[in-house]
Amino acid sequence: MTRLTRRQFLVGSSLGASALALGGCDLLGSNDQTQTILGSAETLTMTVQRLLQSRGALAREFAEANVSPTFRVNGTSAPDSEEYARLREDGFQSWRLTIDGLVERPQQFSLLDLKALPARTQITRHDCVEGWSAIGKWTGVPLGSLLKSVGLKSSARYAVFHCADELEKTLDGSGRYYESIDLIDAFHPQTILAYAMNGQDLSIGHGAPLRLRVERQLGYKQAKYLMRIEIVESFAQLWGGGGGYWEDRGYEWYAGI
Ligand SMILES: Nc1nc2c(c(=O)[nH]1)N[C@H]1C(S)=C(S)[C@@H](COP(=O)(O)O)O[C@H]1N2
Ligand SMILES: [Mo]
């Protein structure tokens, strides 16, 4: 329903842009420069429209029979902080996911809170930039529904995911894993906070108790060991400014597949 509405909006806006371009030609006559500018504005509208439509498309989903018998653990396989050790010891009963930043009602969710919400299950292929893939079944809460429940402020642009693990030991904490996505991906129907994989609670290796699945992007965006989601207007001031641990070390921020 929302997707249809946005599609209609996009079709409407592109018609609007060409009508405007025509009107401009009538008014401004045959000034070459004006026509060039109007022409490129129309091309831009078309490009943006195609981009938005493809960003809304669904990642391929697979059947149970396609689930990979083994799914590699990559990056951190267990956060080594004392805080995480304590959480792990009590079976993540005292773990809380904080959602704060540019939201109307900052909130903390326990694992039970999340499991009580409407869930989505999807069987998708994970593609790591290092050249391996695996198909897994993920169950979790659509991120969009949580963001609706906390309410976004009008300046909100990105969701930043703060993780429990330090992938690189540093004095200033800049080796902490983090990631970020924009609101198009945050509200994508396949973007979920997963607490289960292949029908079982997430293992420590795969990101217990909660990880992000953002299925139209590469493996390094799939942040494990989530502790906090911070809604921001810009991530330029955060750590290296790239919007993620690997982005700060040279990877693309938008890792579309
Ligand atoms: N917190 C955290 N999230 C992370 C990583 C990590 O090291 N720490 N590695 C990333 C990379 S590169 C990949 S390919 C996937 C691996 O997920 P998996 O261990 O479940 O296969 O997690 C991503 N998310
Ligand atoms: Mo990866």
Residue 254, pLDDT score: 96
What is the CATH class of 59-249?
alpha beta
Q: Whose CA is nearest to atom 9 of ligand 1?
A: 75
Q: Give the separation between CA 151 and CA 156, rounded to whole angstroms.
A: 10
Q: What is the pTM of this model?
A: 0.83
Transcribe 95-110 into DSSP letters: --EEEEESBSS-EEE-
Residue 45, pLDDT score: 67
Which of ligand 1's atoms lies nearest the C-alpha of 167?
7
Q: Is the CB of 208 under 6 A from ligand 1?
A: no
Model pLDDT for residues 12-52, shown as the tens digit of each residue: 333 333 333 433 334 444 455 555 555 566 666 666 666 66
Task: Note whether 197 and 205 are within 8 A (CB).
Answer: no
Sheet holding 97-101, edge to edge: 107-109, 97-101, 226-232, 158-166, 176-182
Q: Do strands 226-232 and 97-101 pair parallel, antiparallel, or not at all (unpaired)?
A: parallel
> Residue 207's closest CA among 153, 161, 147?
161
Any idea which of 21-25, 91-95, 174-178 has the lowest mean pLDDT? 21-25
The distance of Cα 36 from the centroid of its chain, to the nearest Å, equals 37
Q: What is the mean pLDDT of the chain?
A: 87
Model pLDDT for residues 112-141, shown as the tens digit of each residue: 999 999 999 999 999 999 999 999 999 999
What are the residue ranges spanned by the domains of the chain?
Answer: 59-249
Q: Give the separation between CA 208 and CA 77, rounded to whole angstroms.
A: 10
Residue 147, pLDDT score: 98
Q: Is the CB of 167 under 6 A from ligand 1?
A: yes
Two structure tokens written together for 165: 């693990």
Q: For 78-94, what is the mean pLDDT?
A: 97
Residue 142: is its pLDDT beyond 80?
Answer: yes
Two structure tokens written together for 253: 């921020």
Higher pLDDT, residue 27 or 102:
102
Higher pLDDT, residue 54 or 214:
214
Which of ligand 1's atoms lies nearest the C-alpha of 246?
12
Model pLDDT for residues 180-230, shown as the tens digit of each residue: 999 999 999 999 999 999 999 999 999 999 999 999 999 999 999 999 999
Two structure tokens written together for 30: 């045959």
Q: Whose CA is nearest to atom 12 of ligand 1?
A: 220
Residue 69: how many CA atoms within 13 Å on its side-chain side?
Answer: 0
Report the share of the chain in percent with pLDDT over 70: 79
Q: Give the separation between CA 103 and CA 107, rounded to whole angstroms.
A: 9
